[in-house]
Amino acid sequence: MSKNRVAVAMSGGVDSSVAAAFLKEKGYDVIGLTMNLQNEVGHSCFSQDVEDAQCVARILDIPHHVVSFEEAFQKHVIDYFVTSYLNGRTPNPCAVCNQTIKFGELLKKAQTLGATYLATGHYAKVTYDAKQERYQLQRGKERGKDQSYFLARLSQDVLKHILFPVGSFTKMKIRKLAERFGLPVAEKKESQEVCFIPGGDVVDFIRKQTDRPFQSGPIVDGKNQPLGTHPGIVGYTIGQRKGLGIALGEPVYVTKIAASTNTVFVGKEQDLYQKAFEGSDTHWISNQKINGSMRFKTRIRYQHRPDWADVFPIKNGKVNVQFLKPQRAITPGQLAVFYDQDVVVGSAWIDKVKRE
């Protein structure tokens, strides 16, 4: 294994392409890896991404490989995604994919090819705290593109092998660097969809994965009064307003999904605001653990602006989290990430919302 060899996860986009070019310019021995996750060879979108990655690799004069992880991706990401919706939870496939596939299976593959490091185009930073003798995950320079949230499940053993070359730049700067490097993807648009659901139809995707009809059930208000019928809880998430199929003369939103009774609860806008939840499978990065209550800026989904919350460790790797101010649509299944300024302290999966 060469200390100077870096494998770059090349998606065919501008960020990972610039990451590869930047590392090559710095003198690293760079190889490019593009993941095939769903037996996608021949699919137009995947084929274009591979073609773009190969084109960049040729320009940079680096080796490029397409590596397949279909079975692992099905097991760790798709099955988790489907099961979450069937259980009335809203999954976070990117966080799970980063932990198990990109910085799991792909890192192992990179190491078999002699690479010490795996680099990606994520907007985040990894530093080393000599005092604590631990690697730190930090937010990227551009707040609007910061992706530290999706990386909050990474371990110390992984972080020491990771490079994020674009994390110290803005998106505008990355596109300018792509132009300077002569890369044809400088203006390539970013996809806003779940990568394994190109059309964006989650319900249809889950229907095809399960190959069985969904069970209809009641839509009720906060007092358990029936308001209508839903065709299956997989089509709903906390905070949803559109597509409820009921007309009450005022806006209503999904406030709770009870898989045990196959019930969707709805209420007014103010009913979405809560202050507390219980989290599970807590994972600490900057510290091995925290003792007693501590206050962190806490993010409950990627687009959520972090706000102050007190975090109380309890038994079995769980935490109670109490925000100082009510937050909109705290959603079971999503990831809560705890920050100390720019440093990711840790994370936990949101299990139960505690209602006032």
One domain, residues 228 and 333? no
> Tokens 């099905």 belong to which residue?
74
Span 139-148, average pLDDT? 90
Residue 190 lies in a domain: no
One domain, residues 32 and 140? yes
% of the chain with per-residue pLDDT over 70: 96
Residue type at 343?
A: V
Sign of the dihedral through C-alpha 324, 327, 333, 336: negative
- What are the tens digits of pLDDT across the range 239-273? 999 989 888 888 999 999 999 999 999 999 999 99
User: Is residue 148's pLDDT more than 50?
Assistant: yes
pLDDT at residue number 42: 44
Q: Token pair of 114, please?
A: 């002699």
Give the C-alpha separation, 184 to 17, whole Å. 10
Residue 348 lies in a domain: yes
Confidence of residue 142 (pLDDT cuts 50, 70, 90): confident
Confidence of residue 166 (pLDDT cuts 50, 70, 90): very high
Q: Token pair of 294, please?
A: 């501590």
One domain, residues 226 and 319? no
Q: Select the more confidently predicted residue: 126 or 187.
A: 126
Residue 326 lies in a domain: yes
One domain, residues 152 and 297? no
One domain, residues 300 and 258? no
Residue type at 224?
A: N
User: Is residue 106's pLDDT more than 60?
Assistant: yes
Span 122-139, average pLDDT? 94
Other Cβ atoms within 10 Å of 345 Cβ, number: 22
- Report the domain count for the chain: 3
Taking 3-state DSSP, the helix, strand and coil percentages for the chain, each rounded to the nearest 5, stand at 30, 30, 40
Q: Per this entry, what is the length of the chain?
A: 356
- Candidates 136, 153, 148; CA nearest to 96 is 153
User: Is residue 343's pLDDT more than 90?
Assistant: yes
- What are the tens digits of pLDDT across the range 10-33? 999 999 999 999 999 999 999 999
Other Cβ atoms within 10 Å of 96 Cβ, number: 20
Claim: this prediction has a pTM higher than 0.85: yes
Residue 202 lies in a domain: no
Active site residues: 97, 195
One domain, residues 333 and 238? no
Residue 93: strand, helix, or coil? helix
Give the C-alpha separation, 241 to 245, whole Å. 10
Span 27-49, average pLDDT? 79
Confidence of residue 41 (pLDDT cuts 50, 70, 90): very low
Q: Which domain holds residue 253?
A: 213-267
- Candidates 66, 52, 62, 64; CA nearest to 23 is 62
User: Is residue 289's pLDDT more than 90?
Assistant: no
Span 63-77, average pLDDT? 95
Span 151-156, average pLDDT? 97
Q: Select the more confidently predicted residue: 353 or 212.
A: 353
Residue 319 lies in a domain: yes
Contacts of 30 (CB under 8 A, 6+ apart): 5, 6, 7, 8, 20, 23, 24, 60, 62
